[in-house]
């Protein structure tokens, strides 16, 4: 799931000029440019920020040069992610030297982690806003205008932005993210997210359904329900998971869990594909699998990070399951949804990891035969339990070697998985033009595997029947025959 991409797109909103560049002064609008890094949640959050800015009279531009407000939504998950952002901030500052009216702001996890450090030691930004403080951006911009410190990194126990209608950025008009939970209570020892995104809270189902209804009206065909740990979604009238014990008996009895939410969404929008990410093995229930089996429009795909195949490492990571429990869950998935696509996140070289632990990871991969995965070398994050208590003792070269073995194994499995589709006819939702050829469409199957095929007369947003004739390890290649009545 974690990807590094750049988001920069126009929206149709005009505002009034208060302070801005020359081109803004000509057109009378304030222009903001937003770049996003990291997980899907950050991309969804940038759409919330775009909406808040729009309410403050800004128009979003894809031109960095003409923007008077430049925001970068950041990721802290690994050191490299932070380095990438730092380079971008340095670049923005080099532009700012010749454009003094430009405001540069840092949003998201790095803002939360480094807080005032950005203003005090580094002096490379004007504005620092944590993931729960985006509604304060208009006020903070006023502080900047008056040369005052503009930092808000307060984490909230309630904020879900359920009342904000996101402005879709970089959208193909077909697929959209809808966040259903924020924060994470799991405290995996390697992970910075609980510190940067705060306690886990669930969003009011009414606002989730309304947002999805609105997307359906606008012609969207696929939504992905987002959260760090969607399976622990829990709405009982309040949102904070840890306070559920204090809820009244009636609230506890009538609480809405993830499987209930999934069924509600599937029933409300039978013509829309529903995906969700990310699932945590400790919380994924058989009920969720049964709901997936029941509704055709819920995609047969589960992103189920495991991080390691070794019990001793899983324990040190504070993952709340064993290798055996994970394998049992995989067995249940295969039994209940035989054609389910499954992907993973894996970390190579967690502190104390031995060759035997690494071999356990490779063996687990053989057992599951994942469709694809996101694989990383362990990166120590300041403040996490692992950084404080466990020495980062696996040499960099060993981490790299283990990571390359994991990637190589994944490539073998991906190829086996894609080859199994050759000869089959699958339903594909067309999302965009293929990167390699403007005569081909690119879309995904229910299993989340990419398929490319000649365009013919089909359009973006069509569900089409595609006969698969060939494949690479990551992509299915085929021929579309007709509009599908499947989703």
Q: Which residues of the shown chain bind ligand F3S in the complex (CB under 6 A)? A: 184, 186-188, 191, 193-194, 228-229, 280
Gyration radius of the chain's alpha carbons: 23
Residue 466 binds which one of ligand F3S, ligand SAH, none, with CB within 5 to 8 A depending on kind? Answer: none
Instruction: Map the footprint of ligand SAH across residues 426-455, applying CB under 6 A.
Output: none
Give the interface segment with ligand SAH, choosing from 49-57, 68-76, 99-107, 378-386 (CB under 6 A). Answer: 378-386
User: Is 178 a residue that touches ligand SAH (CB under 6 A)?
Assistant: no
Residues 6+ apart with CB under 8 A from 127: 71, 103, 104, 105, 106, 137, 140, 141, 144, 150, 151
User: Is 77 a residue that touches ligand SAH (CB under 6 A)?
Assistant: yes
Residue 194 binds which one of ligand SAH, ligand F3S, none, with CB within 5 to 8 A depending on kind? Answer: ligand F3S
Instruction: Map the footprint of ligand SAH across residues 201-240, applying CB under 6 A.
Output: 228-229
Q: How many residues does the chain have?
A: 487
Cα dihedral across residues 431, 432, 438, 444: positive or negative:
negative
Give the interface segment with ligand SAH, choosing from 321-329, 364-372, 373-381, 453-461 (CB under 6 A). Answer: 373-381
User: Is 174 a residue that touches ligand SAH (CB under 6 A)?
Assistant: no
Q: How far apart are CA 475 and CA 415, in angstroms?
A: 9
Closer residue to ligand SAH in complex, CB, 387/422: 387
**Tokens representing residue 45 in the block:** 């959050």
Closer residue to ligand F3S in complex, CB, 314/450: 314
Q: How far apart are CA 12 and CA 6, in angstroms?
A: 20
Binder to ligand SAH among 71, 153, 178, 191 (CB under 6 A)?
Answer: 191
Instruction: Map the footprint of ligand SAH across residues 276-315, applying CB under 6 A.
Output: 278, 305, 307
Give the interface segment with ligand SAH, choosing from 16-24, 67-75, 152-160, 188-196 (CB under 6 A). Answer: 188-196
- Alpha helices in 102-180, H assignment, sequence order: 109-114, 117, 137-145
Residues 6+ apart with CB under 8 A from 56: 15, 30, 137, 138, 141
User: Is 195 a residue that touches ligand SAH (CB under 6 A)?
Assistant: no
User: Is 326 a residue that touches ligand SAH (CB under 6 A)?
Assistant: no
Closer residue to ligand SAH in complex, CB, 36/61: 36
Give the interface segment with ligand SAH, choosing from 5-13, 185-193, 319-327, 359-367 (CB under 6 A). Answer: 185-193
For residues 202 and 234, the answer to whether their CB atoms sit within 8 Å is: yes
Task: State the nearest-atom distance from the C-beta of 350 to ligand F3S, in Å.
Answer: 12
CA dihedral 416, 417, 418, 420 (to 10 degrees): 80
- Alpha helices in 280-354, H assignment, sequence order: 286-294, 311-316, 323-336
Task: State the nearest-atom distance from the C-beta of 379 to ligand F3S, in Å.
Answer: 13
- Measured in whole angstroms, how far is the alpha carbon of residue 41 from the centre of its chain? 4
Give the interface segment with ligand SAH, choosing from 147-155, 169-177, 187-195, 396-404 (CB under 6 A). Answer: 187-195
Candidates 456, 461, 460; CA nearest to 482 is 456
Binder to ligand SAH among 72, 180, 284, 347 (CB under 6 A)?
Answer: 347
CA dihedral 100, 102, 108, 114 (to 10 degrees): 10
Q: How far apart are CA 151 and CA 120, in angstroms?
A: 11
User: Is 193 a residue that touches ligand SAH (CB under 6 A)?
Assistant: yes
Candidates 413, 412, 455; CA nearest to 431 is 455
Q: Which residues bind ligand SAH (CB under 6 A)?
A: 1-2, 39, 77-78, 190-191, 193, 228-229, 278, 305, 307, 345, 347, 376, 378-379, 381
């Amino acid at each position: 799931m974690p990807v590094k991409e750049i988001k920069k797109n126009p929206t149709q909103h005009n505002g009034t000029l208060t302070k801005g560049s020359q081109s803004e002064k000509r057109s009378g609008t304030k222009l903001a440019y937003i770049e996003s890094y990291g997980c899907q949640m950050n991309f969804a959050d940038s759409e919330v920020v775009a909406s808040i800015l729009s309410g403050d009279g800004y128009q979003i531009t894809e031109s960095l040069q003409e923007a008077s407000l430049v925001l970068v939504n950041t990721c802290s998950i690994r050191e490299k992610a932070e380095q990438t952002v730092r380079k971008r901030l340095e670049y923005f500052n080099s532009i700012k030297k010749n454009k003094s009216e430009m405001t540069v702001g840092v949003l998201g996890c790095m803002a939360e982690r480094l807080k005032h450090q950005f203003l005090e030691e580094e002096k490379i930004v004007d504005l620092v806003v944590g993931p729960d403080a985006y509604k304060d951006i208009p006020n903070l911009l006023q502080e900047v205008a008056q040369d005052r410190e503009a930092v808000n990194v307060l984490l909230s126990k309630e904020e879900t932005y359920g009342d904000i209608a996101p402005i879709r950025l970089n959208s193909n008009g077909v697929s959209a993210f809808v966040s259903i939970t924020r924060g994470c209570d799991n405290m995996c020892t390697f992970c910075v997210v609980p510190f940067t995104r705060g306690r886990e809270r669930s969003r009011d189902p009414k606002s989730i359904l309304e947002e999805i209804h609105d997307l359906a009206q606008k012609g969207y065909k696929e939504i992905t329900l987002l959260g760090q740990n969607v399976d622990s979604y829990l709405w009982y009238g309040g949102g904070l998971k840890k306070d559920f014990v204090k809820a009244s008996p009636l609230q506890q009895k009538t609480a809405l869990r993830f499987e209930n939410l999934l069924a509600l969404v599937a029933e409300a929008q039978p013509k829309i594909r529903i995906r969700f990410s990310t699932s945590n093995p400790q919380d994924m229930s058989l009920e969720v699998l049964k709901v997936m089996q029941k509704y055709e429009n819920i995609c047969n795909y589960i992103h189920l990070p495991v991080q390691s195949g070794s019990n001793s490492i899983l324990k040190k990571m504070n993952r709340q399951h064993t290798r055996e429990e994970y394998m049992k869950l995989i067995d249940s998935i295969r039994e209940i949804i035989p054609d389910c696509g499954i992907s993973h996140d894996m970390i190579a070289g967690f502190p104390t990891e031995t060759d035997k632990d690494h071999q356990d990871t490779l063996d687990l991969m053989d057992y599951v035969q994942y469709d694809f995965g996101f694989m990383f070398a362990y990166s120590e994050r300041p403040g996490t339990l692992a950084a404080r208590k466990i020495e980062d003792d696996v040499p960099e070269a060993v981490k790299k070697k283990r990571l390359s073995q994991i990637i190589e194994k994944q490539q073998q499995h991906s190829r086996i998985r894609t080859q199994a589709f050759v000869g089959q006819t699958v339903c594909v939702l067309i999302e965009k033009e293929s990167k390699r050829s403007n005569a081909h469409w690119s879309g995904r199957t229910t299993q989340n595997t990419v398929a490319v095929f000649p365009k013919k007369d089909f359009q973006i947003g069509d569900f089409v029947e595609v006969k698969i004739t060939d494949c690479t390890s990551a992509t299915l290649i085929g021929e579309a025959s007709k509009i599908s009545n499947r989703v």
